[in-house]
Structure 1
């Protein structure tokens, strides 16, 4: 299993970096749209769609929704203040606050949505659509003046999430004693949680000190720690839905890593939350 994980990682990392820096905004948006369609396909399991045809239709409808939203906009990279983008990012902030309450009160909270496919579809919509707009908006940020500034920001968020996850694993393995959310993910500990936040804070401080940014280090720090917190919540939320659906992995598309949602669960929360705080709350445009 470890061999497959390493091989997959060595393949995926260069592909992700190439997509970030080599694709133009439209090409990157289409690629992200395809990833979101695969995520919607896997989310169908959380909604109780056992039939392949139902999940295919869910993926297709998700792709059509994002395509219509994308291609009915003007030159979308010009401003984050376009209503569709702004609404999606604010909705993401609201959804992840609600998701925190659902995770903290699980399994009791499951009685609210366990028997409602409509609610579980809504949760999927609030997870996937803002993730798409967070990715697209950050990638296209200042594209007119610098084709790579947005790619650098997105790579930073990804590195931040990966670093926080690695820090949580190391600290949890070494010092972990107290369970963070035993009803949702028994392997996670409070020691790992704070270790991940510490790692994210260090990454933010170093990046703010040495990178040439048009953002105050204090703003970067707040956005980064919030994104790290959101990444943990994204992971826990997917674990909650998988536990309720009775599955270990969201899919088997990536050998050794499970499905697409298993790889991007943290990013589905971290990317839109980071984009919302940086671009809307602090007005960094």
Structure 2
């Protein structure tokens, strides 16, 4: 009887979660589509919103562990980095990261309590790299046509491709794992993620990549679409696991409750933080 109730509660919880996700997507996706199509400062502003909330979530998780990152200077460096990559399309990003690191280390000198200085410094700069540097590759994807003499409208197609292959795998891994998942994938990081869910994610990322190739991403050859699908499937799930590892270490379930049904911004964009940079470099060095 108890197992029956447990199974029933699980199904109710699943359906409620899916409904919330669906409602949030109905509101969120059209806005995302319109802003991505516009590009320019509109898309930069959207990515900056993701960066600011994501940085705040990450630093809040670190504070739950007793670490005190420099939220203000970290978020300032993150925004400045995204703008720098927007105007320079990624050029001299190493120089900016060096200056940000030096600034954060100098800020530690002003703290009265010098204990755990390395923790405070490294956590602050890691937040900039993990959230802002990786997320800024979405801006670089959108602006990529300006560096290879393509029509600016191609940039929205590059970003849409990243969205489709990443989130088709992400969503299908969740659904397949919920209904058919039996064998845990990496239980010390996340008990809910399963091998069956991971395989479902790989399959549907490939499907998403191939469908994209024959609809809006005709600039790809079939083998290139398959390669991007595999990259997104594998690396996207690694991004999901990395965020799960960070949350587990901080002993929290979700990064926040910013997006109904999805959790926080990091919960929704964790996979994309890993896939967007690799898709960008694949397009840059292989396709174009």
Equivalent position SS for 1:47? helix
Distance apart, 1:250 and its partner CA? 0.9
State the match for 2:155 in structure 1.
150
| Residue 46, structure 1, aligned to residue 61, structure 2 | yes
| Equivalences for residues 92-131 of structure 1 within 5 A | 116-131=119-134
Q: Could you say which residue in structure 1 is the equivalent of 2:199?
A: 194
**Of 230, 240, 244, which residue of structure 1 is paired with 2:245?**
240
2:170, 2:201 within 8 Å by CA — same for their partners in 1? yes
Offset of residue 65 of structure 1 = 3.8
Consecutive unaligned residues of structure 2, counting only runs of 5 or more, are 1-15, 98-117
CA separation of 1:130 and 1:276: change in aligned 2, threshold 3 A: farther
1:84 to 2:89 alignment: no
Distance 1:69 1:150, change over 3 A: closer
Check 1:169–1:260 CA distance in 2 against 1; reply closer, same or farther (3 A cut).
closer
Match of 1:60 in 2: 76
Structure 2 vs 1, CA of residues 45 and 203 (structure 1 numbering), >3 Å: closer, same or farther?
Answer: same
Is the CA contact 2:70–2:124 (under 8 Å) kept in the aligned structure 1?
A: no
Matches within 5 A, 1:262-273: 262-273=267-278
Match in the other structure for 1:25? 40
**Distance in 2 of aligned mates of 1:254 and 1:210:** 29
RMSD: 3.1
- Aligned residue for 1:247, secondary structure, equals coil
CA distance in structure 2 between the partners assigned to 1:69 and 1:206 by the alignment: 30
TM-score by length of 1: 0.76
1:181–1:53 distance in 2 versus 1, CA, 3 Å: closer
Give me the whole-angstrom Cα distance separating, in 1, the residues matched to 2:256 and 2:203: 31
Q: Label 1:121 to 1:233 Cα distance change in 2 as closer, same or farther (>3 A).
A: farther
Aligned equivalents of 1:56, 1:41: Cα separation in 2: 9
Q: What is the CA distance between 1:69 and its match in structure 2? A: 5.0
The whole-number CA distance in structure 2 between the counterparts of 1:233 and 1:266 is 7
Tell me, yes or no, if structure 1 residue 251 matches structure 2 residue 267.
no
Q: Secondary structure at the match of 2:63?
A: coil
Rounded to whole Å, the distance in 1 between the matches of 2:128 and 2:70 is 16
CA deviation after TM superposition for structure 1 residue 131, in Å: 2.5
Name the structure 1 match of 2:32. 16
For 1:185 and 1:60, how far apart are their aligned partners in 2?
Answer: 32
* 1:217-276 C-alpha deviation (Å, 9 max, x unpaired): 212211221122111111111111111111111122223322211111111111112112
Write out aligned runs for 1:68-79 (5 A). 68-71=84-87, 73=88, 76=89
2:225 equivalent in structure 1: 220
Aligned-pair distance for 1:60?
3.0
Measure the CA separation in 2 of the matches of 1:38 and 1:245.
18
Q: Which structure would you say has the larger RCO, counting Cα contacts within 8 Å and 6 or more residues apart?
A: 1
CA contact (8 A) 2:74 2:128 kept: no
Aligned residue for 1:6? 22
Partner of 2:209 in structure 1?
A: 204
